[in-house]
Amino acid sequence: MPIDPFKLERYFAQYEFKVKYLLSPSDCESLKMDEVLQMASSASLDLWHGLSLSYTESQGLPLLRAEIARLYQNIPPEQVIVAAPEEAIFVAMQTLLTPGDHVVAVSPAYQSLHEIARSIGCEITNWTLQPGRNGSWHLNLEQLEASLTARTRMLVINFPHNPTGYTLARAELDAIIGLARKHGLILFSDEMYRLLEYDPSAQLPPICDLYEKGISLSGLSKSFALPGLRIGWLATQEKAWIERWLAFKDYTTICNGAPSEILGLIALQNKERIVRRNLDIIRTNLASAEQFFSEHERQFTWFAPRAGSIAFPEWLGGEQVEQFCQEVLEQQAVMIVPGSLFDFPGKHFRVGLGRRNLPEALEHVARYLKVL
Ligand SMILES: Cc1ncc(COP(=O)(O)O)c(C=O)c1O
């Protein structure tokens, strides 16, 4: 089956590098290369200066995989494969799913989390986050259980969640793992926004540590503010999957960019510092967003995120949300992602909390509202 265009990415491709303000990016203010190099230990700087721009090891630089494995408890470096995050989703789905498989995926979602499976010929059931009246999100575990069939092969989750900023309670995660184990499911867990929990006690353990058929997807694009490196990874306890992924990766990128691997290594060695910096930006922006949405209660319902760098509030104005986004773009040069790009009904839109100029972007939305 042909793969459908990635709506969100096509929308970004149209405007991301042309408009003045982005209200909806999912990443944090990117670090500059100098900032990363300034954090480097002398050993890493030696690696950087002596770097040969050759092909690299397909599975990922061993030193980098060793540093990644330190993020987990039950994952040795051999059980990690490094690839661009989006590539990693593609590789995992292409190798583990076959036509006719049933896949349950959290919804709304980053499109590739369900579209790749659909294009393979899988049947997809959405497990949908529901908006409550009080600006909160809800997931129903009974609904998840009811959607599982004898053909269900994979459950796809993503917490902290894009686009709502919702995250599960530990008991809910345990219940999901219980269901996955009972039904023998592969549990694909997109953990790209992990480490960006506002309350450290809300941080969930990675799936790959908790479940023998779990896969954790992570990377440096969001929590580490380094999307330009294109470094992500899959981690799992299942040995056979690593072999399959490596065989498939020969048809995608073969190996990772040599400079990206060293810069990624330096970033991981400075995890606490980088994550603290990003959480500081997010907290400051959360305060601005809360103030903005409380000052405009008649036009919006604010849905406070629990973790990550994004929120998914609702537009209450008379127009459709796409029209609101289009007008703000044309009149104030602010790009806003409407919820329809996630196939989500209603009038939600995404707000990115990771960029330093969010208050300015909101100021321009306020100007648009004034002349309405
Ligand atoms: C939930 C989620 N997973 C995966 C990705 C892919 O990351 P990258 O764009 O760095 O490949 C994104 C990017 O927005 C995302 O939001």
Say if residue 299's pLDDT is above 90.
Answer: yes
Say if residue 94's pLDDT is above 90.
Answer: yes
Q: pLDDT, tens digit, for every residue of 135-191?
A: 999 999 999 999 999 999 999 999 999 999 999 999 999 999 999 999 999 999 999
pLDDT value of residue 1: 85
Mean pLDDT of 105-110: 98
d(CA 246, CA 308): 30
Q: Which residues are CB-neighbours of 334 under 8 A, at least 6 positions away?
A: 19, 20, 21, 22, 23, 328, 361, 364, 365, 368
Q: pLDDT, tens digit, for every residue of 228-281?
A: 999 999 999 999 999 999 999 999 999 999 999 999 999 999 999 999 999 999
d(CA 117, CA 124): 8
d(CA 127, CA 115): 14
Ligand 1 atom at shortest distance from the alpha carbon of 109: 1
pLDDT value of residue 371: 83
Ligand 1 pocket test: which of 107, 161, 162, 167 has the largest number of ligand atoms within 8 Å of its C-beta? 162
Between vectors from CA 304 to CA 298 and to CA 310, what angle results, nearest 5°?
Answer: 110
pLDDT value of residue 119: 98
pLDDT value of residue 177: 98
Q: How far is CA 237 from the centre of its chain?
A: 22
Say if residue 372's pLDDT is above 80.
Answer: no
Q: What is the mean pLDDT of the chain?
A: 98
pLDDT band at 133 (very low <50, low <70, confident <90, very high): confident
Is the pTM for the entire model greater than 0.95? yes
pLDDT value of residue 211: 98
Contact in structure between 237 and 79 (CB atoms under 8 Å): yes
Ligand 1: residue whose CA is nearest its atom 9: 86
**Residue 125 structure tokens:** 């059931």
pLDDT value of residue 191: 99
List the domain boundaries for the chain.
Answer: 7-32+272-370, 33-270
Ligand 1: residue whose CA is nearest its atom 6: 86
pLDDT value of residue 36: 98
pLDDT value of residue 134: 87
d(CA 198, CA 182): 32
Residue 336, H or E segment: none
- Taking the CA of residue 50 as centre, how many other CA atoms within 13 Å lie in the half-sphere pointing to its CB? 6
Ligand 1: residue whose CA is nearest its atom 7: 85
Ligand 1 atom at shortest distance from the alpha carbon of 162: 1
Q: pLDDT, tens digit, for every residue of 232-242?
A: 999 999 999 99
What is the whole-number distance in angstroms between the Cα of residue 104 and the centre of ligand 1? 19
According to CATH, the superfamily of the domain at 7-32+272-370 is Aspartate Aminotransferase, domain 1 (3.90.1150.10)
Q: Which CATH number is associated with domain 33-270? A: 3.40.640.10
Separation in Å, CA 66 to CA 124, 211, 283, 301, 317: 35, 21, 31, 44, 51
Contact in structure between 315 and 349 (CB atoms under 8 Å): yes
